[in-house]
Amino acid sequence: MKEQGVPDNRKNNKKAAGIGIALSLAACLFILLLAIRMGSVYISIPDLFKIIGSHITGRPLPAEVDPMADSIFWTIRMPRAITAFLVGGALSVSGAVMQAVLQNPLASSYTLGVSSGASLGAGFVLLCGFSVAGIESFMLPLAGFVFGLLTVALSILLASRIDRSVSNQTIVLIGMILSLFVTGIMNFMMTFYGDRSKQLWLWMTGSFSARNWTHCAILFVVGLIGFVILFMLSGRLDILTFGELQASSMGVEVKKTKITAMLVASLLTGVSVAFAGVIGFIDLAAPHIVRRIFGPSHRIVIPMSFIYGGAFMALCDLAARTVLSPREIPVGAVTALVGAPFFAYVFFAKGRRKV
Amino acid sequence: MIFETQGEKEMRKKIVSALLCGVMALGCFTACNAENAQKVKELVKNTDVSGLESVEKDIVNSVTGAGVVPTKDRSGNDIKVPSEVNTIVSLAPSTTRVLIDLGLALKIVAVDTNSMAYKDYLPSGVKTFDMMNPDNEAIAALKPDLVFTSGMSSVGGTSPFKSLVDAGICVADIPSSASIADIAEDLKFIGNCTGKGVEAVALATAMDASFKLMSKACESIPAEKRKTVLFMMNIPTSDSPTIYSFGSGTYMDEMLTKIGAKNACASQQGWVSISIEDAVAMNPDVILTNVDYVEDPVKDIKALKGWENVKAVKNNEVYKVDPNLSMQPNNHVVDGALEWLKDIYPDIFTDLSKNLEKALKDTVEKIKGIAGNGTSETTKAAA
């Protein structure tokens, strides 16, 4: 993902942004294709399209394509790469919105306790063996999702009770306190079930392995709904970045917008954490990079955060599964290891910043 | 051996006891020098059982160093084993099983929780401890003569049993062995610490001899018929998608090699975790799994999405194996290898069992001949 140039001239703004968007989309498609193609088994591009074609049209696989390649690509690798893309996109959109709403460049849904809540939920299921017949394999994601959202809801509720204007400081502080508290509960639980802690740790560090098309479908639907709602809020988010006072004087219902945006953003993070574990950094970095390239307008920042975050995540997952193959590196470690220096470069290279 | 039929169980028991008898009565002697062998022959001729016993022990001791009380444990720590060991704490299931095999079950006063798999053989009031988080005070209160620990318990180089050592209790550490040769050394170490050196040598030699028999039987398998085996210690799910297995440099890899199979993960070292995609791409001929936390692991593995075209799944070559045999580095890895052999090359297993049955009969006859009507103590222990 190269920086596509920052247009300074207002006249050329729209045109440059258009080119930038087109280039980004092309790069993103290229990365997705790369992520699907690379791995322990290589495949030729024609074979890849034959496999995809046969599944979409429902026609039997051409005889010259190895059925093993079909299993690996269609059943194992593709859903994985697409899940990574969707999760990366959802996390970045959520990060972009949280940063705007809380007017804090370091804010994310994690600040409000999504991750610690989700971990507590997952830990609860793992340790107590709690399960509902029929959806056993979805118990962890479901519990993670519900607990994650509950924690955020509780954060916002507490913040609005304590501080009627729901100021950003209050929300961030309450979120952090609640996060620590929830983590405390989980550590307390772990003392009793030490032998399960490895499993929980694995879940928390995040992985896209063993994701199937069901995961993709759920992520896609939830992601799409969240994306559309947040995109519709983008005008109001733009105004919010000028400050709450200005925003309310310009007729924006600040409190309502903030709470809606935060809840929907947390929904996106929640579903991502549920399916991929706690993957940090991407929600922080992708929106900042996008703002550097395309400027602060949320009508562009939100969709572009999705594209950039998704592509970056697909790339990180590619690294996670190929660098030490057949071992896998936790993808959260890759996002931070690759992303942090890259982020620092983009952020400080030109000595200019815009949040 | 939870799931095998009574017949198979008997078979395996016979095989092992045949080997044990054979080794004790005959095998050791061939290892001795000519002079000793001559002496033994004379004694056998005169059916001088008590004389035979003493020579046997002497020879075994001189050849193998059995009976020499160790001054260092298997981790290289200095230890001082009491001259008489009457109470033992065993904090690893593999050690517990060896102690039972050596006839020391009644001396065991406490074990780790995993050792309770053998509770039928242990004294009824035996205490249990958490291997990963041992209660040193409670262990010290038992005043055991000897505590066997496994490398498992040490964290970051510090032994969690330091306070026991400071309290003057003999703590002998046996880290998890990486090779079959090391397992033999572990056996001898346990035997020599507990006054059962000869018996331990017998177990070790029997293990070695059995592996030799197996690898000889598998020698003739042509290269193109050698099967690639993926051993799965877990079934991947979306919540924990990594597959745990072993690469080269492990005793389990050696077991596979000895029975003429190829380890799918041989390019990796030690205990490995591999991704689903790589496991599928390995396309193993056979999948073995020791998973016992689900009802039917074979069915679950066959049902894994994307695995339909893996040869093992396509050809119905997914087998469940007994975790207590192969996962614990002790003499029972032989039973484990036999079990794997039965799954991977059933024909060779059948031939081998027939031969062994014959060997068993011959040996029993020979031993009867040597011992006359009386029974020798060593044969009894060995059997």
Helix A78-102 to helix A282-294 angle (10° resolution) is: 70
B365 phi and psi angles, rounded to 5 deg: -60, -45
Chain B interface includes A323 (CB < 8 A): no
Q: How far apart are CA A131 and CA A139, in angstroms?
A: 6
Q: How far apart are CA B28 and CA B63, in angstroms?
A: 9
Torsion of CA A114, A118, A121, A127, to 10 degrees: -140
Is A215 inside any structural domain? yes
Query: Tell me, what's the pLDDT at B363?
Result: 58
Which residue type occupies B165? V
Is B125 inside any structural domain? yes
B243 phi and psi angles, rounded to 5 deg: -105, 130
Report the gap between the CA of A64 and the closest CA in chain B (Å).
15
Q: How far apart are CA B306 and CA A338, in angstroms?
A: 30
* A330-350 residue pLDDT tens: 888 888 888 788 778 777 765
Is A24 inside any structural domain? no
* A93-143 residue pLDDT tens: 999 999 999 888 888 888 888 888 988 888 888 777 777 777 777 787 888
Is B138 inside any structural domain? yes
* Share in percent of chain A as helix, strand, coil (round to 5): 75, 0, 25
Report the gap between the CA of A128 and the closest CA in chain B (Å).
15
Is A291 inside any structural domain? yes
Q: What is the CATH number of the domain that holds B127?
A: 3.40.50.1980
Contact B179, B208 (CB under 8 A): no
Q: Which of B95, B190, B192 is nearest to B152 (CA)?
A: B95
* Nearest residue in chain B measured CA to CA from A125: B239
Q: How far apart are CA B8 and CA B20, in angstroms?
A: 18
Is B160 inside any structural domain? yes
Residue A253 is part of which domain span? 80-348
Q: How far apart are CA A283 and CA A268, in angstroms?
A: 11
Q: How far apart are CA B112 and CA A241, in angstroms?
A: 61
* Nearest residue in chain A measured CA to CA from B247: A326
Residue where a domain stops, chosen among B143, B174, B205: B174
Query: Tell me, what's the pLDDT at B49?
Result: 39
Chain B interface includes A211 (CB < 8 A): yes
* B275-334 residue pLDDT tens: 888 899 999 999 999 998 888 999 999 999 889 999 999 999 999 999 888 889 998 998
* Nearest residue in chain A measured CA to CA from B238: A210
Q: Exposed, middle or buried by CB within 10 Å (0-12, 13-18, 19+), for A103?
A: middle
Is A35 inside any structural domain? no
**In B213-231, which positions are buried (b, 16+ CB within 10 angstroms) versus exposed (e)?**
bbeebbeebeeeeebbbbb
More confident residue, B263 or B168: B263
- Residue with tokens 């996109």, as numbered in its chain: A89
- Which residues from B are below 8 Å from A when comparing CB atoms? 132-133, 236-242, 265, 268, 272-281, 283, 305-310
The pair of three-digit structure tokens given for residue B355, joined into one six-digit string: 């031969």
For chain B, the farthest-separated pair of C-alpha atoms sits apart, in whole angstroms, at: 69
The pair of three-digit structure tokens given for residue B39, joined into one six-digit string: 């002496």
- Do B280 and A67 make contact, defined as CB atoms within 8 angstroms? no
Query: Which positions in chain A touch B268 (Cβ < 8 Å)?
Result: 326-327
Check whether B94 has a pLDDT greater than 90.
yes
Check whether A315 has a pLDDT greater than 90.
yes
Is A132 inside any structural domain? yes
Query: Tell me, what's the pLDDT at A335?
Result: 87
Average pLDDT over residues A215-222: 91
Sheet containing strand B262-263, strands side by side: B262-263, B228-232, B286-289, B318-320
Q: What is the CATH number of the domain that holds A87?
A: 1.10.3470.10
Contact A317, A35 (CB under 8 A): yes
How many CA within 13 A on the CB side of residue B39? 14
Is B303 inside any structural domain? yes
Report the gap between the CA of B166 and the closest CA in chain A (Å).
27
- Do B236 and A209 make contact, defined as CB atoms within 8 angstroms? yes
**What is the three-class DSSP state of A145?**
helix
Average pLDDT over residues A188-203: 73
Residue B307 is part of which domain span? 222-344
Report the gap between the CA of A40 and the closest CA in chain B (Å).
6
Is B95 inside any structural domain? yes
Is A184 inside any structural domain? yes
User: Which residue out of B278, B285, B293, B301 would a mutagenesis test of the A interface target, given it has the greatest number of A Cβ atoms within 10 Å?
Assistant: B278
Q: Which of A167, A27, A175, A52 is nearest to A114 (CA)?
A: A175
Going by C-beta distance under 8 Å and a sequence separation of 6 or more, which residues neighbour residue A95? A108, A109, A265, A282, A283, A284, A286, A287, A305, A309
* B131-157 residue pLDDT tens: 777 788 889 999 999 999 987 655 555
Domain count, chain A: 1
More confident residue, B381 or A31: A31
Report the gap between the CA of A295 and the closest CA in chain B (Å).
38
- Do B280 and A212 make contact, defined as CB atoms within 8 angstroms? no
Mean pLDDT of chain A: 84
Query: Tell me, what's the pLDDT at B369?
Result: 54
Q: Which of B133, B276, B283 sits opposite A210 (nearest CB)?
A: B276
Is A128 inside any structural domain? yes
How many residues in total does chain A contain? 355
Check whether B165 has a pLDDT greater than 90.
no
Report the gap between the CA of A70 and the closest CA in chain B (Å).
8
Q: How far apart are CA B319 and CA B45, in angstroms?
A: 49
- Res. B60 pLDDT band, cuts 50 70 90: low
- Specify which of B44-53, B172-181, B371-380 reaches the highest per-range mean pLDDT: B172-181
Query: Tell me, what's the pLDDT at B44?
Result: 40
Which residue type occupies A68? M
Query: Which positions in chain A touch B309 (Cβ < 8 Å)?
Result: 67-68, 70-71
**In A233-264, which positions are buried (b, 16+ CB within 10 angstroms) versus exposed (e)?**
bbebbbbbbeebeebbeeebebeebbbbbbbb
Q: How far apart are CA B169 and CA B163, in angstroms?
A: 9
Interstrand relation of B243-246 and B271-274 (parallel, antiparallel or unpaired) = antiparallel
Is B297 inside any structural domain? yes
Q: Are residues B252 and B329 in the same domain?
A: yes
* B120-130 residue pLDDT tens: 999 998 999 88
**In A112-123, which positions are buried (b, 16+ CB within 10 angstroms) versus exposed (e)?**
bbbbbbbbbbbb
Query: Which positions in chain B touch A325 (Cβ < 8 Å)?
Result: 275, 278
What whole-number percentage of chain B has pLDDT above 90?
Answer: 39
More confident residue, B378 or B313: B313
Query: Which positions in chain A touch B112 (Cβ < 8 Å)?
Result: none
B200 phi and psi angles, rounded to 5 deg: -65, -40
Q: How far apart are CA B139 and CA B129, in angstroms?
A: 8
Is B15 inside any structural domain? no
DSSP B95: H
Domain count, chain B: 2
Is B329 inside any structural domain? yes
Q: Are residues B164 and B231 in the same domain?
A: no
Query: Tell me, what's the pLDDT at A297?
Result: 92
Residue where a domain stops, chosen among B174, B203, B233: B174
Which residue type occupies B96? T
Average pLDDT over residues A65-85: 88
Sequence-ordered strand ranges (E) for A42-190: none
Q: How far apart are CA B4 and CA B2, in angstroms?
A: 6
Is A117 inside any structural domain? yes
- Do A199 and B277 make contact, defined as CB atoms within 8 angstroms? no
Torsion of CA B147, B153, B156, B162, to 10 degrees: -30
Check whether B34 has a pLDDT greater than 50.
no
Query: Tell me, what's the pLDDT at A59?
Result: 82
Report the gap between the CA of A203 and the closest CA in chain B (Å).
6
User: Which residue out of A199, A328, A331, A334 would a mutagenesis test of the B interface target, given it has the greatest number of B Cβ atoms within 10 Å?
Assistant: A328
Average pLDDT over residues A82-103: 93
Q: What is the ipTM score, two decimals?
A: 0.72
Check whether A3 has a pLDDT greater than 70.
no
Contact B142, B107 (CB under 8 A): no
More confident residue, B169 or B131: B169
Q: How far apart are CA B146 and CA B89, in angstroms?
A: 6
* A181-195 residue pLDDT tens: 998 998 888 777 666
More confident residue, A231 or B77: A231
How many residues in total does chain B contain? 383
